[in-house]
Chain A
Amino acid sequence: MEIDPFIFRFSIFILAIFIGYYVVWSVTPSLHTPLMSVTNAISSVIIVGAIIAALASSSNNIFETSNIFGFLAIILAAVNIFGGFLVTQRMLQMYKKKKKDKK
């Protein structure tokens, strides 16, 4: 009997939750704010779905309703990706300055 591919994806999902659990507990509390902004940025990998949706062509019209939702999702996710990573970078940069100041 064959195993449904869903079960494989579900296994990946559960294992990733465990990885997340252990990795996040090892994050130092002083970096919890950057943690939140970076998780924000990476969860915008949902842009992958948005790009597929935007480029999907069932007809010659590239502005079908489903495409438009894709375009909108791209804007939202792009704001998040750039905003999330850059603001994280900005915060982490401040932690670096300190080290140099001290030494």
Chain B
Amino acid sequence: MISANLSAIFYLISGILFILALRGLSSPETSRQGNFFGILGMIIAITVTFLTVGNFSNAIIYVLLFLVIGGAIGAFIAFKIPMTAMPELVAGFHSLVGLAAVFVAVSAFLNPQAFNLGSPGNIKLASLIEMSIGAAVGAITFSGSIIAFLKLRGIMSGSPITFIGQHFVNLLLGISILALIYYLCTTQSESFFWGMIAISFIIGVLLIIPIGGADMPVVISMLNSYSGWAAAGIGFTLENTALIITGALVGSSGAILSYIMCKGMNRSFFSVILGGFGGETSTGEKQKKDQKPVKSGNAEDAAFLLKNASSVIIVPGYGMAVAQAQHALREMVDALKKNDIKVSYAVHPVAGRMPGHMNVLLAEANVPYDEVFELDDINNDFANTDVAFVIGANDVTNPVAKTDPKSPIYGMPVLDVEKCKSVLFVKRSLSPGYAGVDNELFYRDNTLMLFADAKKMTEDIVKSI
């Protein structure tokens, strides 16, 4: 048993280690050390908690048992999960944090003595508000993340689900949560507490169902942020510095990532939240594209163009990951490099389905991270490049975003692919991307469409080089 003051110091130390864990991610070289700091911080926090409680009843056996069971499940998932499924995994993990926050809040509500918060029916007002906020945000995070998980996994359709008066219903439910918290504080009655949690679960579902598949990167970042605020709310209840610091870090981290994703799509945060984007395709545009001529080629044509180039920029998108073409792509790049062709990769902020997803997929295929460039760093190079090889990306290369104010993606930062001498566009068909917008690039004179599965096409090109 150690004193409360001493344990508070240790919690502060683990909070600092968590800050260093995030700091380490500023470069790939320091990142592994950062992760180690994070693990160390967690070990300190857990050990100190055991020592502070001190009173080891039989329950300790079960605590350790459940710790091991959970840990084994977590470790198993971590080693088995394919990198393409990272977005689902992260969404799933968010839901666990949310639910854990709810459970801890419930537990604190039922047994407040254990946390020094008063006695049942007579809980300190501040603690009651804090645990209510923690539980409500946790519940929203949980059910919202479950919906996000189902959508990303493809179990649920990615198209937005909307109904009349949706925003009004959400507003009403939001107000009723506040009202229930108010009544909970005045009456200390259990039923208000359960009611508030139930409504929070419903709100979480309603908030995420209207958001379309294209906006999923924002949703994941947003839920990341929520899980942080939920942790912070519980941190206030438990008067625990490590939890407060971590909650604040995670909350702001998720908020910044949401902002970066919104900027990458030129969408305001509120329009994403209000939802309804990325579901419909206008028929007018479909007719238009049938009339326009498209140049298409085969693997030999592509190999010829690539071999005679002196510089190539690869533009990968989520389609590449779906087709599992990243390894074939890397073989192609190796073959090109043998011919002294300069190759780099251009990654758009919203390529993939979560922030930085494409970078991880390329890293998995052994692409050196210093050959992968962000939009701002590489966009000026397209004009001096011979061939752009677009594989699995679509909307992020569409010049319409720069030229047509009427287009839904107008103003979105795009890769200036069309400035290359020639563009190779690997795609199954001429169908529009997530945003439901026809890509003008298909009909340019310097574009050669390669209609095929991304993996097969890339493999064929490797053979022809």
Interface residues of A (CB under 8 A from B): 5-6, 9, 12-14, 16-17, 19-21, 23-58, 62, 64-67, 69-99, 101-102
- Find out whether the CB atom of A5 lies under 8 angstroms from the CB atom of B239: yes
Cβ of B354 within 8 Å of any chain A Cβ, yes or no, is: yes
B360 touches A79 (CB 8 A): no
Most buried by A among B27, B39, B240: B39
Please provide the chain B residues from 74 to 103 with a CB less than 8 Å away from any CB of chain A in the complex. Answer: 74-75, 77-79, 81, 83, 86, 89-90, 93-94, 96-97, 99-101, 103
A-B contact pairs, 9 of them (CB 8 A): A20-B22, A39-B249, A49-B238, A62-B62, A83-B73, A84-B93, A93-B32, A96-B32, A99-B368
Q: Is B400 an interface residue (CB 8 A)?
A: no
Q: Please indicate the chain A residues that have their CB under 8 angstroms from the CB of B55 in the complex.
A: 55, 57
Please report the C-alpha to C-alpha distance between residue A6 and residue B224 in the assembled complex, in whole angstroms.
Answer: 25
Q: Could you say which of B170-178, B226-234, B274-282 contacts chain A? A: B226-234
| B256 at interface, CB cutoff 8 A | yes
Chain B, interface size category, equals 35 or more
Q: Would A42 and B97 be within 8 Å (CB), given that A76-B103, A102-B368 are in contact?
A: no
**Shortest CB distance A80–B (Å):** 5
How long is the Cα–Cα vector from A51 to B114 in the complex, in angstroms?
Answer: 11
For residue B14, CB closer than 8 A to chain A, the reply is yes
In-complex Cβ contact of A28 among B25, B94, B104, B239 (8 A): B25
B411 located at the interface, meaning its Cβ lies under 8 Å from any Cβ of chain A in the complex:
no
The residues in B between 114 and 131 inclusive whose CB is less than 8 angstroms from any CB of A are 114-115, 126
B356 contacts A by Cβ under 8 Å: yes
Interface flag for B13 (CB, 8 Å)? no
User: Are B49's CB and A31's CB within 8 A?
Assistant: no
4 closest pairs, A vs B, by CB? A78-B70, A32-B356, A56-B114, A83-B74
B contact residues around A84 at 8 Å (CB): 74, 78, 93
Which of A28, A37, A80, A99 contacts B96, CB < 8 Å?
A80
Determine whether the beta carbon of A36 is less than 8 Å from that of B67.
Answer: no
Q: Is B324 an interface residue (CB 8 A)?
A: no
- Between A14, A20, A51, the greatest number of chain B beta carbons within 10 A of the residue's beta carbon is seen for A20
| Cβ contact within 8 Å between A62 and B32 | no
